Structure 1
Amino acid sequence: MNQLASTVKPEQDFKEKTTKLIDSLKAICANFGLGNDGNEFKIITQLFLYKFLNDKFAAEAKKQFPDVTNAKEWEAKIDSLSDAEFEKMTMRMNPNTATLKPIHFISTLYQLQNTENFAQRFDDTLADIAAINQDVFAVKTDGGAKIVLFDRLSEYIADPTKRDEFCKAAINKLIDFSFEHIFEQKFDFYAMIFEYLIKDYNSNSGGKYAEYFTPHAVARIMAEILVPKSVRGEIRNATCYDPSAGSGTLLMNVAHAIGEDRCTIFTQDISQKSSNLLRLNLILNNLVHSIPNVIQGNTLLHPFHRDGNTWKQFDYIVSNPPFKLDFSDIHKSLEAKAYQTRFFAGVPKVPKSKKDSMAIYQLFLQHIIVSLKPTGKAAIVVPTGFITAQSGIDRSIREHLVNNKILAGVVSMPSNIFATTGTNVSILFIDASNKSDVVLIDASNLGEKVKEGKNQKTVLSDDEEQQIINAFNQKTAIEDFSVVVSYEEIAAKNYSLSAGQYFDVKIEYVDITPEEFQQKMQTFTQNLDDLFSQSHELEAEIKKQLAGLRYE
């Protein structure tokens, strides 16, 4: 118990220090007029990333000079290496480590902070780090351009006379903090830090392409069902894909379940901001090897990941596709013949009103189905209306899943599981190897309602999450919660994937005497007579009021 406490406390202390660092960087932005500015998230995330990469390099370098403990001594040791010796040293480092030279160290900038044109030196340092590491750390666009690690951050300060002071303030915050003793922490630890880091920049208030942060409960349920504990450790060289990846919450959970060193991630997302956040998430979670597969671009119009002339297929696909995104400007292109093989159920019409604007998810869903290997598995968040719609593309997709026997099941989630949208959602699970029974779960009655800002959110307990996972993975039928049905039964029910339509209808019988029956009937009759009487009185009053109306 004492050993556990001694482990937990340093971890908790470090989390508190990390959140304090993030808050202090936000305070610097506010003090220089960048609070709530559109570029604030770039400054915060890139300063945080610079610090992380600096300390990661330092930790790896110190391993190679175990006899040197003083910071200045090991930095001097590195500085004295020849180019060949330096290259040999970096090759021995963990491959997740960015290459830095002594002139790039935070400690070097700290010592030079009072020199002339410090802001330019600061920006040049970040630009040099980005250039040296672009082959591994650069995100690509679907047109082939590279989005490098760092911008020239001081240039976001409108007043040039304040740029030196801004960079000095940042360096003085970074120098007093160190990641070096925490790099062995795993996914759960960094998930908390990452969510705190981006919480102000990853909401539905950010404009047209802002993403909705996928709740951890949804991400965990997806990962636990796609990668059950019984198969973990057996999976090798898995490919994991998300065509609308956002900042990567779903992929991080799946990669963690498989093992970060046992899988490679592939993504695409239209948002440059989200792609940059995803890159940071990959760096934090030892998935640097997947960064070259992060693509910023329009998945529907320009799907980047391909095998020759066709779409690349993957072992695992997860997605929380956009429900409400205008695609009128690309609709004609999507309807073009070149795209028809991908959208087998058709391209939806452009919705006439915002109320009907959820059709775009149908395109992502079809893209996912054709991007899945014959042995692959997928989990996709869909609006709950998808599972029962009796016409159109929704129905055609469900028929395809059932008739081709590639459906694993559906979990209908509680309302408001997403605090930022009122849309009821379900999780659709596809398994190309599942040729037998399908699991349908109605979890809509689970969870506790809590307030999150101005919104109401439903939060599942750990036990409720496990209840869903166990019922699905064990294919267990539970009264008024889960059913296990055949493909033939689903077809007979008009391809409905709603668990409630398969629950047994129960009629409870109660023994009563003839006298009790007569008494109940008299009560019902009396109540009905009272209602009729009230209705007649209302009719008379309405007619009286109408008769009193006069035209003037």
Structure 2
Amino acid sequence: MANQQSSNLESSLWNAADVLRGKMDASEYKNYLLGLIFYRFLSIKSLQAFAESTDIQDQDIQMIKDAYEKYLSAEDDTSKFIYNSLLSKVGYYIEPKYLYSNLIAEINSGDFELENLEKALHELEVSTNGQTSQQDFEGLFDDVDLHSNKLGGNLRQRNQVISDTMLALNDIDLLGHNGDVLGDAYEYLIAQFASDSGKKAGEFYTPRQVSDIISQIVTYKRNAGDNQIRTIYDPAVGSGSLLLNVGQHVQDPSLIQYHGQELNTTTYNLARMNLMLHNVSYEDMDLRNGDTLDKDWPVEEPYQFDAVVMNPPYSAHWDNSNERLSDPRFRDYGVLPPKSKADYAFLLHGLYHLKENGTMGIVLPHGVLFRGAKEGKIRQKLIEDNRIDAIIGLPANIFHSTSIPTLIMVLKKDKDNSDIMFIDASREFEKGKNQNNITPDNIAKIVKTYKEHQDVNKYAHVASYDEIKENDFNLNIPRYVDTFEPEPDIDIDEVKNNIKDLDAQIAQVQKDFDAMAADLVETDVKSDDKK
């Protein structure tokens, strides 16, 4: 039933995008569609929170909306109480006249103006009595540019495009689905937009299959009692999908606090929306818009976490000026990652913020396993300090942003062994139309192999420290997992017999052809014409 609901919702959301397709790039129109979807979600959530705070929660949605307008439009103590209750419960407040459903009523009556929507979005940041809403809502709709000429050359055209978009979204039964289904559809849209707009548009989205692998590994043996994960950190948070996936794999997700940082402002806003769409309270999220490598964050408690997960941009440029050698994130390694390849900078940042008993999972390009110079020194130091727990090679072409093969590196600060687990899962996938897919069976095999920590022929190998040292601390997977499949032995006598059979068949065919040629009768076309 849930799968059917999700499928119907995804289809409806994608069809709603038709209003904006062709007017602008997917990277731009996703801002309008996702922003308006989110505003509608907040409107509905506001009504639900109001109903839970009163004695009318069992009534239908129209009765709840009528009561919401009645109580909150009055200027009395009851109104103030409900207003404060909403701010405390959901962290924001929407005036009755700015509810999404009331804006739809204005559209249907021909009274809608873009200015009304603009005020509605603004009111999420500043309430009617001048108090500021929770900072988590500030700037959420900055990318919904209602004055853009791409919506139309004049106000009437822009008004019509936004009206049509809102009407299309209003046909979706958000109340008929729980928060998880809505969140899944939201992530589905992010993936579709990333694929549609190409280039690096998918950099903010980690495929669910990869998230599942990381989530199951970092939560392994951490689902009981006081050992359960409480804090998760993603320094390159993107849309927040990786954070949320980890939260879904713990025993009690309600105990989780989510921390993350994102450089791109638009993507940072998507992450905040995504967490709220998954019913994460504003009190349990601490997201920041900033450059992870430029300036360390967080620097105040908590600054170390039970789990660190990350899918950073691959081989990005960064400022590796010498003064960073004194940065506590990098100073123990004596050198800095090269300016043109920040992969180890992200890794060391994440490791610095990992608790002693925590687990870190990071997606990286294969170059980090074998490149020399400064990266080689950092890699050797990580191995000598016994920080690297496992390396999992993934299939190529599984991300929206790149077709290169990638890997998951698992790191710990408190290992109970000195070896490294190598898993080569690069050849096990399901070929898709645009991207290859890691199937549930593929995922289960990877996780099972990691947990059992044993060699698997042509798939996995547990390498000792001495073995890795003999390889000059080169961690290239083929050095440890031999996936070579020898060609089968050739039976020369059988080949000779096959050739004899083919020669006999060719001779017979030639004989039959010659017989048919002899039966042909030449016809004099000219003489036939004279008769």
- TM-score between the two structures when normalised by the length of structure 1: 0.76
Number of residue equivalences:
476
Among 116, 129, 143, the alignment partner of 1:121 is 116
What SS is found at the alignment partner of 2:134? helix
Structure 1 residue 265 corresponds to structure 2 residue 230: no
Among 432, 437, 445, the alignment partner of 1:450 is 432
What SS is found at the alignment partner of 1:130? coil
What SS is found at the alignment partner of 1:439? strand
Counterpart for residue 322 of structure 1 = 313
Hey, what's the Cα distance between the residues in 2 that align with 1:467 and 1:195? 25
What SS is found at the alignment partner of 1:293? strand
1:483–1:499 Cα contact (<8 Å) kept:
no
Hey, what's the Cα distance between the residues in 1 that align with 2:464 and 2:407? 20
- 1:135/1:493 CA distance change after superposition, 3 Å: farther
Alpha-carbon shift at residue 50 of structure 1 (Å): 0.9
Structure 1 residue 102 corresponds to structure 2 residue 91: no
Hey, what's the Cα distance between the residues in 1 that align with 2:159 and 2:408? 50
Which sections of structure 2, spanning at least 5 residues, go unmatched? 497-531
Among 141, 163, 177, the alignment partner of 1:182 is 177
1:447–1:458 Cα contact (<8 Å) kept:
yes
Which sections of structure 1, spanning at least 5 residues, go unmatched? 1-7, 140-145, 352-358, 524-552
Hey, what's the Cα distance between the residues in 2 that align with 1:248 and 1:362? 22
1:438–1:484 Cα contact (<8 Å) kept:
yes
2:361–2:410 Cα contact (<8 Å) kept:
yes
What SS is found at the alignment partner of 1:448? coil
Structure 1 residue 217 corresponds to structure 2 residue 209: yes
**2:136 aligned partner, one-letter code:** A
Counterpart for residue 404 of structure 2 = 423
**1:402 aligned partner, one-letter code:** I
Counterpart for residue 228 of structure 1 = 220
Deviations 1:178-214 (A, max 9, x none): 322323x53xx34530233223543595677861632
2:204–2:267 Cα contact (<8 Å) kept:
no
| Higher Rg | 2
Deviations 1:494-523 (A, max 9, x none): 223345434589999x99xxxx9xx99xx9
CA RMSD of aligned residues (A): 3.5
- 1:407/1:203 CA distance change after superposition, 3 Å: same
Among 436, 441, 446, the alignment partner of 2:423 is 441
Among 47, 59, 65, the alignment partner of 1:58 is 47
Hey, what's the Cα distance between the residues in 1 that align with 2:424 and 2:366? 11
What SS is found at the alignment partner of 1:417? coil
Counterpart for residue 242 of structure 1 = 234
Alpha-carbon shift at residue 425 of structure 1 (Å): 1.4
Hey, what's the Cα distance between the residues in 1 that align with 2:448 and 2:382? 23
For 1:34-49, list aligned pairs within 5 A. Answer: 34-36=23-25, 39-49=28-38
For 1:129-168, list aligned pairs within 5 A. Answer: 129-132=124-127, 135-136=133-134, 138=136, 146-149=138-141, 153-156=145-148, 157=151, 158-168=153-163
Among 385, 390, 399, the alignment partner of 1:404 is 385
What SS is found at the alignment partner of 1:147? coil
- 1:321/1:15 CA distance change after superposition, 3 Å: same
Counterpart for residue 462 of structure 1 = 440
- 1:225/1:12 CA distance change after superposition, 3 Å: closer
- TM-score between the two structures when normalised by the length of structure 2: 0.79
What SS is found at the alignment partner of 2:212? helix
Moved more, 125-134 or 243-252: 125-134
Counterpart for residue 474 of structure 1 = 452
Hey, what's the Cα distance between the residues in 2 that align with 1:92 and 1:507? 66
Hey, what's the Cα distance between the residues in 2 that align with 1:48 and 1:13? 20
What SS is found at the alignment partner of 2:249? helix
2:57–2:64 Cα contact (<8 Å) kept:
no
Deviations 1:407-451 (A, max 9, x none): 221111223333542322111101112131432212122123333
What SS is found at the alignment partner of 1:39? helix
Hey, what's the Cα distance between the residues in 2 that align with 1:472 and 1:423? 23
**2:46 aligned partner, one-letter code:** F
Deviations 1:451-476 (A, max 9, x none): 30xxxx33222112111100101212
Structure 1 residue 497 corresponds to structure 2 residue 479: no
**2:386 aligned partner, one-letter code:** K
What SS is found at the alignment partner of 2:392? strand
Alpha-carbon shift at residue 219 of structure 1 (Å): 1.0
Counterpart for residue 369 of structure 1 = 351
Deviations 1:150-187 (A, max 9, x none): 6664322342232333343244334443322323x53x
**1:384 aligned partner, one-letter code:** H
Deviations 1:515-551 (A, max 9, x none): x9xx99xx9xxxxxxxxxxxxxxxxxxxxxxxxxxxx
Structure 1 residue 85 corresponds to structure 2 residue 78: yes
Alpha-carbon shift at residue 43 of structure 1 (Å): 0.9
- 1:44/1:112 CA distance change after superposition, 3 Å: same
Hey, what's the Cα distance between the residues in 2 that align with 1:134 and 1:276? 18
